[in-house]
Structure 1
Amino acid sequence: MTTSNARPPRLQRLKHAFSSPSAFHQALILKSSTSILINEDLAPSPPSRHTWTVWSFFAYWWSESWNVSTWSVGASFIALGATIRDALLVVFFANLLSAAVIVLNGRAAARYHIGYPVISRSSFGIRGAYFVVVLRSILGIIWGGVQLYFEGQFISVCLRCIFPGWERIPNVIPESQHITTQVMVGFFFAFLFTIPFLFIHTSKIQHLFSVKSVIMPLAGLGIVIWATTENGGVSSGVFENSGTSTSTSVLAWGIISQFSAVMGANSALLVTVPDLARYSKTKNAQLWGQLISLPIGQTLCASFGIIATSAVRNLYGEAYWNPYDLLNRILDESYSSKARAGVFFASASFAFATLGTSIACNFIPFAADVTCLLPKYINIIRGQLLCLVIAFAIVPWRIVATANGFLNFLGGYSIFQGPVVAVMLIDYLILRRGNLSLTDLFTLSSEGRYYFFHGFNVRAFAAFVIGFLLPLPGFAASFGHNINIAATHMYSLGWVLSFLMGCLSYYIICLLFKLPGDDGKQSFESQVQSAEQIIIEGFHVETESHGSAASIESDQIKEREVVEKMA
């Protein structure tokens, strides 16, 4: 049965969109965007999109733990001279702290069903939120490119397993670029293989991580079994006896620096979680799945990387902290059918795992960010595709050229992310006592409680600057500038220092200059129940941007429109 307002077939709509420039422009405009503050993916998620269960979050964080970065972080500690015991302890406790911060930062999103770009408006201001959104989007682009490069490495290894002459293809790329023709081809294939997954909305992507949570540990275990079998054991003493003895002070600061490196690797996850937690099926679905799986999974993955690296170093005389370098070396030593089959399975698993990591930690956050920046034209799916195009255009292989450079990059950028998370946690949990006004999050009116000073919460920006100021000289020194030992030690504290300073400074500033509104005077999260009722009945908001009332339709109408657009 057809109706008069039924939408024309997709092919007909596509043909009409390319009939003229004005028709193309109209096709790009999202009907759900009624102001510069809202569209279908910025508004609170309707109940039909509350699809992430406890298992979804557990599978996601367990699968996320199994990635190239985690494997490489543990193994790169060994390459830089750390002991196996110290490396594993650092990874475990850093990820335990990360899990705690992630759970706290996802709490608001799980209760009000809004993502990071909208939640950040409550702490940084309606207009000030754009700054932290852009700050995170930069990280999404860089990491998106890095993960795409990792994926391309593994695809290149897979192609080498299939084609015996793969390594004999002439390399016309200069050595100074840190990439070969083979890897560049793999990088291009990684780009193509990623495209289909980016057409899946965040509320439906969780099944990808369930598959990854099973495949990737098996691949990692396979590499460990092979390495220890070939070596005749773990050979843990190879690393611990190879380094020179150091003083207690040097060792302590080295461990602290390693801790900061792990926090740096997780810094993207700490700010990303609201974009996933907003789809939580229940208020606490994100709690146990994240708190348990992240520290255990990442420690296990890092230990696999350490065990395999130590065994291979004893076997080949070199520590391969990147798994794709290790897999290539295995093929160099033996190109038998057995070796090729095993390496192909491991490489394909790592490529798939890297794809999942990149989607969750880079493409989804970037898409949420640009949805906030251009709500009239970009939703989650369009934003994911845009991120892929930009990530393809950068040169991420230079970031991971050496172990030192990789750790410097991870630790460095995190000092700007620490204060952001700090401000958001103090603002929501302590100062506002878990109370948010949904309508005020979507208005440009100067009467709104999140408008602050012309749309900017100056308190939050002062705390942000104070947060990263102390480790900043050390960050500059990591690129070759000379500084004193005190600045070096402060930089070794990295994310932890910037986070603690951000927490303390924002709390003190807000004691001196009170936040507007009465959120902090109400009982803890007393507004959650009324917000849930608003979302169920259909979210409506008044805006100032177009001088008229704007609204998001009821849950049933909105969901039908989204389904039609995705059809």
Structure 2
Amino acid sequence: MPGSSSYDSREPAKTSRLHNFKHAFTSFHAFHEAIVLKSSTSILVNEDLLPSPPEKQTWTTWNFFAYWWSESWAVSTWSIGSSMIALGATIRDAMLVVVFANILSAVVICLNGRAASRYHVGYPVLSRVMFGVFGSYFVVILRAILGIIWAGVQMYYEGQFISICLRCIFPGWNKIPNDIPASQQITTQTMVGFFLAFLFTIPFMFIHTTKIRHLFTLKSVVLPIAGLGLVIWSTTANGGVSASKLVDPSVKTSSVVFAWGIVSQFNSVMGANCALLVTVPDLARYSRTKNAQFYGQALALPLAQTICAAFGIITTSAVKNMYGTAYWNPYDLLNGILSESYSSRSRAGVFFASAAFAFATLGTSIACNITPFAADVTCLAPRYVNIIRGQFICLIVAFAIVPWRIVATANGFLNFLGGYSIFQGPVVGIMIVDYFIIRKGNMDLKDMYSLSADSRYSYFHGFNLRAFAAFVVGFLLPLPGFAASFGYNIAPAATHMYALGWVLSFVMGSLAYLAICMIWKVRGGDGVGETFEARVVGKDDQHMIIDGIVSRPARQQEQELAIVVGEKGCNSISNV
């Protein structure tokens, strides 16, 4: 009847979740229907690929600050001074490298997060603008590989801290017979810790990115307190810092070799941050305001990493003076304390420190690996994968790759992971140049979800050949040095270019993309485009509706639009 409500009171009530769960396993068809996401209306769309609606724009300046502050408190940051001081660098030199590398990281993060905070779309959608609607799959997979491997490695590290906690509780923990063959590169104790780490991670996989921010707030308080406790204990027990014990002037080589060594360590810090430099849009899309991600991220990373690295150096130097061994790695340090003194006091202190580091490692894995992986793989199978499901996929695969074998035996593979930053540098460089210089901040939101050949992001059959050419140029110069890390002999100049690694690939990729786009102009590269302050305002079983204000700078006109995401993508526009 015209004008009547579509709701019929005679319709049966919604069935319970338990009933739906049981029904899903009654047949293959029922199972398929249960896992299909109703919000996915094309291969480019589901609820986590669309612009974040206002209720999901929950990250404030404090949340971004807490995220980067907490992410910086990690095992790798604690021990970051070890390689630099091993070169013969002074503690001052090591700290300056950490400070300036993280200032550069913070600048890149803020720049790359700007577009996402404005359009509220994540990395897999934003990369369609630079690499094309199909070319974006390549850079997403490139990032996902790194995420899933390090998720497993971080879970292995977390398991080691859990094993230390159990050693504190049970005096006979290290005496448990180890029936696992030595060829498996793991002991019974560490295996138990790894399995418990897997179980402890599961509940966090149910939490969406918009709500997981509270985890980082908690971590930003817990681990600094634990780190400060270790500093106070070590300096009190030692009667001072004894920083001179760490520095051995005899290991310092010629000025040239030393200088390139410091450059290499600068690049290592950038490489450790490289994955998040690329995928920061997956967080910035939830920014409550355009500037929340900027103010929250600008200070947290350099400040927190500097303090954490300083704590690691102070503690290691004091403990070396007491025990005669430089325990750079925190789990080696905590095990060393127990080996020196297994008193009730030391057991209690080590237990709480280990628990804090285990929790911190869990947070780092979620922040750096699981959440970015989940947000990005949604674009690979949007009919079936959202962020929550992606997190479970990452956790299960990370568990299955037996990461202890990677850590223990695959030195070449670890070298590959260390050099992976040369492939990430050009990507973030291209994204920043494209947004700020080529398009001057103007993007067409509807074309990010369009499969039409007329879409400005379809390029050549869905691939932006300019971006891929710049990507190759970016990693080409440091590539020979990357090959040398596997044992190949190359010229010293190639080794030096590899020492510049991320920085060189970032600069070359950026300049190459700018030059190519100056010659071979992209559509919308004149700074005239449609800019959206977008939000999802409604949805039903068939569509999601986005509305916003569209600004056309060339004509200084504004009009309100509703974009209906249908079966062929985001291609229907009507005046509201």
Using the size of structure 2 for normalisation, the TM-score is 0.90
Paired amino acid for 1:312: V
Rounded Cα–Cα distance in structure 1 between residues aligned with 2:302 and 2:109: 12
Equivalent residue, structure 2, for 1:216: 223
Contact 1:411–1:494 (Cα < 8 Å) also in 2: no
Equivalent residue, structure 2, for 1:64: 71
In the alignment, is residue 418 of structure 1 matched against residue 425 of structure 2? yes
Rounded Cα–Cα distance in structure 2 between residues aligned with 1:541 and 1:301: 48
Higher strand share: 2
Contact 1:438–1:531 (Cα < 8 Å) also in 2: no
Paired amino acid for 2:395: L
In the alignment, is residue 497 of structure 1 matched against residue 501 of structure 2? no
Contact 1:151–1:354 (Cα < 8 Å) also in 2: yes
SS for the counterpart of 1:452 is coil
Q: C-alpha displacement at 1:230, in angstroms?
A: 2.2
In the alignment, structure 1 segments of 5+ residues that lack a partner are 553-567
Which protein is bigger by CA-based radius of gyration?
2
Give per-residue Cα distances to partners, 1:198-224, cap 9 Å, x unaligned.
Answer: 100001111111111110100111111
Equivalent residue, structure 2, for 1:360: 367
The equivalent position to 1:460 in structure 2, one of 448, 453, 467, is 467
What is the correspondence of 1:312-461 to structure 2 with a 5 Å cutoff?
312-401=319-408, 408-409=415-416, 411-461=418-468
SS for the counterpart of 2:76 is helix
Equivalent residue, structure 2, for 1:261: 268
Rounded Cα–Cα distance in structure 1 between residues aligned with 2:147 and 2:345: 38
Bigger drift between 118-127 and 479-488 goes to 479-488
What is the correspondence of 1:479-558 to structure 2 with a 5 Å cutoff?
479-517=486-524, 519-522=525-528, 527-529=531-533, 535-536=546-547, 540-541=563-564, 546=567
In the alignment, is residue 128 of structure 1 matched against residue 135 of structure 2? yes
In the alignment, is residue 290 of structure 1 matched against residue 297 of structure 2? yes
Equivalent residue, structure 1, for 2:107: 100
Give per-residue Cα distances to partners, 1:391-437, cap 9 Å, x unaligned.
Answer: 11123335545999898455401111000001111111110111111
CA 1:399 to 1:252, structure 2 compared with 1: closer, same or farther past 3 Å?
farther
Rounded Cα–Cα distance in structure 2 between residues aligned with 1:495 and 1:269: 13
Q: C-alpha displacement at 1:540, in angstroms?
A: 3.1
In the alignment, structure 2 segments of 5+ residues that lack a partner are 1-6, 538-544, 549-560
Q: C-alpha displacement at 1:128, in angstroms?
A: 0.1
Rounded Cα–Cα distance in structure 1 between residues aligned with 2:280 and 2:531: 21
Aligned residue pair count = 547
CA 1:422 to 1:171, structure 2 compared with 1: closer, same or farther past 3 Å?
same
Paired amino acid for 1:59: A
Contact 1:50–1:279 (Cα < 8 Å) also in 2: yes
Equivalent residue, structure 2, for 1:206: 213
Equivalent residue, structure 1, for 2:3: none
Equivalent residue, structure 1, for 2:555: none
Higher helix share: 1
In the alignment, is residue 234 of structure 1 matched against residue 238 of structure 2? no
Give per-residue Cα distances to partners, 1:491-539, cap 9 Å, x unaligned.
Answer: 000100000000010000111110023x53338xx71347799845696
Paired amino acid for 1:365: P
Rounded Cα–Cα distance in structure 2 between residues aligned with 1:215 and 1:57: 17
SS for the counterpart of 2:124 is helix
Equivalent residue, structure 1, for 2:554: none
Using the size of structure 1 for normalisation, the TM-score is 0.92
Equivalent residue, structure 1, for 2:98: 91
CA 1:529 to 1:31, structure 2 compared with 1: closer, same or farther past 3 Å?
closer
Rounded Cα–Cα distance in structure 1 between residues aligned with 2:86 and 2:19: 58
Q: C-alpha displacement at 1:444, in angstroms?
A: 0.9
Give per-residue Cα distances to partners, 1:339-379, cap 9 Å, x unaligned.
Answer: 11100100100111111111111111111122110000010
Equivalent residue, structure 2, for 1:48: 55
SS for the counterpart of 1:312 is helix
Q: C-alpha displacement at 1:143, in angstroms?
A: 1.3
Bigger drift between 272-281 and 405-414 goes to 405-414
Rounded Cα–Cα distance in structure 1 between residues aligned with 2:79 and 2:405: 16
Contact 1:265–1:410 (Cα < 8 Å) also in 2: no
Rounded Cα–Cα distance in structure 1 between residues aligned with 2:22 and 2:32: 13
Paired amino acid for 1:64: E
CA 1:520 to 1:396, structure 2 compared with 1: closer, same or farther past 3 Å?
farther
Q: C-alpha displacement at 1:475, in angstroms?
A: 1.0
SS for the counterpart of 1:319 is coil
